[in-house]
């Protein structure tokens, strides 16, 4: 790998909605060692292709991680007007093997001085220790720090046997309780159509999983949103091997709309809308006449939270 370790893996500015306000979202992805779960010989989650953004297990020196961050955040003009800042490391931001504590503290101290309404990082539940999260909230500010957890499904068979996630509902609930105790917010990723589910089973599973997320969050007094993630076929994933054998197809965008309509009333919902620049067969789609309309409707919904934006029709729907 010849990537410059002093430059981030990815930086992108997109539109977003935070607490009903249209704003700009800055996505920053560290080039880092990557998810320890994904690097095990058993290969982590079946849908994951994030290792391509990492050094695949080669440690990145502390100074280089800081340089990556400063290449964007040292310039306060470059982050003026940004409402949401997402800091990703293709793994767990609260794992000290993946992101050293001193880097984490530097990042949160800096983000605490910005005007962003929301700061998002991601972590598997086992790394969400109360002392670490409490420290992060103190640096960033209560009600601003949001922690993304990839629950994927509340069904043990789907999460364990199909996605191969490697954590239990108990561990998820413990992590959500930590967010409640510390004043952090929850973003729970729910996967739509993991390997091994039919289209209808996938919709039902995403709806049930979202209901579970909002119930667990309510019990712990946590502000929560669900990110519905329509599965795409990532290069290098286990899923890709099934896709190549014609044993897997991504969900229909109509299933995404079906699930979204049923989840909408439960609480705040965002819908994953990126096609990741992949060849069309690897991403959720409708038919040639409606795919672009459906994608635009999903982007509109994410901006407005207006369910009527998802009321569409097409002859392919039957
Ligand atoms: Zn169509």
Q: What is the pLDDT of residues 253-280, one digit of tens each?
A: 999 999 999 999 999 999 997 766 788 8
Determine the distance separating the centroid of ligand 1 and the alpha carbon of 295, expressed in angstroms: 12
Token output for 118:
């929301």
Question: Please, what is the end-to-end C-alpha distance for the chain in angstroms?
Answer: 47
Determine the distance separating the centroid of ligand 1 and the alpha carbon of 221, expressed in angstroms.
Answer: 41
Q: Give the pLDDT of residue 26.
A: 95
CA 318 to centroid of ligand 1, rounded, Å: 10
User: Which among 45, 43, 115, 37 is positioned nearest to 80, based on CA atoms?
Assistant: 115
Return the beta strands (E) in the chain as ranges. Answer: 10-18, 21-29, 82-88, 118-122, 145-152, 185-192, 224-230, 268-271
Q: At what angle do helices 62-73 and 101-111 cross, to 10 degrees?
A: 10
Please give the mean pLDDT across all residues of the chain.
Answer: 94
Mean pLDDT in residue range 178-184: 97
Q: Is residue 30 part of a domain?
A: yes
Better pLDDT: 119 or 19 = 119
120 C-alpha vs ligand 1 centroid, how far in Å?
35
316 part of a folded domain: no
pLDDT tens, residue by residue, 43-57: 899 998 888 889 999
Residue 317 lies in a domain: no
224 lies in some domain: yes
The CATH code of the domain that includes 278 is: 3.20.20.70
pLDDT score for 87:
97
CA-CA-CA-CA torsion for 292, 318, 269, 265, nearest 10 degrees?
Answer: 140
Domain count, the chain: 1
Q: pLDDT for 280-317, tens place per residue?
A: 899 999 999 999 999 999 999 998 899 999 999 999 98
Nearest to 153 by CA among 212, 238, 200, 199: 212
In a domain, 26, yes or no: yes
The reply to whether 290 falls in a domain is yes
318 in any annotated domain: no
What pLDDT, on a 0 to 100 scale, did the predictor assign at position 22? 86
Tens digits of residue pLDDT in 118-174 = 999 999 999 999 999 999 999 998 889 999 999 999 999 999 999 999 999 999 999
Q: How far is the CA of 155 from the centre of ligand 1 (A)?
A: 31
Distances (CA, A) of 13 to 29, 64, 289, 312: 12, 23, 29, 28
Q: How confident is the model at residue 318 (pLDDT cuts 50, 70, 90)?
A: low
Give a yes or no: residue 113 inside a domain. yes
C-alpha of residue 210 to centroid of ligand 1, in Å:
27
To which H or E segment does residue 108 belong?
helix 101-111
Residues 6+ apart with CB under 8 A from 138: none
Residues in the chain: 318
Q: 296 alpha carbon to ligand 1 midpoint, in Å?
A: 14
Sheet of 224-230: strands edge to edge?
Answer: 10-18, 21-29, 82-88, 118-122, 145-152, 185-192, 224-230, 268-271
Range of the domain at 229: 10-308
Calculate what percentage of the chain has a pLDDT beyond 70: 98
CA 280 to ligand 1 center in whole angstroms: 14
Tell how far the Cα of 128 is from the centroid of ligand 1, in angstroms. 43
Distance from the CA of 289 to the center of ligand 1, in angstroms?
A: 5
Q: How far is the CA of 313 from the centre of ligand 1 (A)?
A: 8
């Amino acid at each position: 790998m010849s990537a410059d370790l002093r430059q981030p893996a990815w930086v992108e500015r997109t539109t977003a909605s935070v607490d009903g306000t249209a704003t700009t979202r800055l996505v920053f992805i560290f080039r880092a060692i990557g998810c320890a779960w994904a690097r095990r010989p058993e290969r982590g989650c079946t849908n994951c292709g994030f290792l391509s953004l990492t050094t695949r297990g080669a440690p990145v020196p502390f100074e280089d991680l800081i340089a990556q961050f400063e290449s964007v955040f040292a310039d306060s003009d470059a982050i003026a007007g940004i409402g949401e800042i997402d800091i990703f490391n293709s793994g767990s931001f609260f794992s000290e093997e993946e992101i050293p504590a001193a880097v984490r503290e530097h990042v949160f101290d800096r983000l605490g001085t910005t005007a962003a309404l929301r700061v998002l990082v991601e972590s598997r539940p086992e790394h969400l220790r109360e002392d670490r999260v409490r420290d992060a909230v103190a640096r960033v500010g209560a009600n601003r720090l949001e922690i993304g957890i990839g629950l994927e499904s509340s069904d043990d068979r789907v999460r364990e046997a199909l996605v191969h996630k490697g954590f239990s509902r108990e561990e998820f609930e413990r992590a959500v309780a930590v967010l409640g105790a510390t004043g952090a917010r929850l973003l729970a990723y729910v996967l739509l159509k993991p390997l091994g589910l039919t289209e209808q089973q996938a919709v039902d599973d995403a709806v049930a999983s979202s209901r579970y997320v909002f119930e667990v969050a309510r019990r712990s007094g946590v502000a929560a949103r669900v990110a519905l993630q329509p599965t795409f076929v990532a290069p290098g994933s286990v899923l890709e091997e099934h896709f190549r054998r014609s044993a897997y197809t991504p969900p229909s965008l109509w299933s995404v709309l079906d699930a979204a309509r049923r989840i909408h009333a439960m609480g705040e919902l965002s819908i994953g809308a990126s096609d990741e620049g992949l060849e069309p067969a690897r991403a959720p789609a409708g038919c040639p006449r409606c795919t672009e309309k459906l994608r635009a409707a999903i982007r509109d919904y994410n901006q407005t939270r207006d369910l009527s934006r998802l009321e569409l029709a097409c002859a392919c729907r039957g």
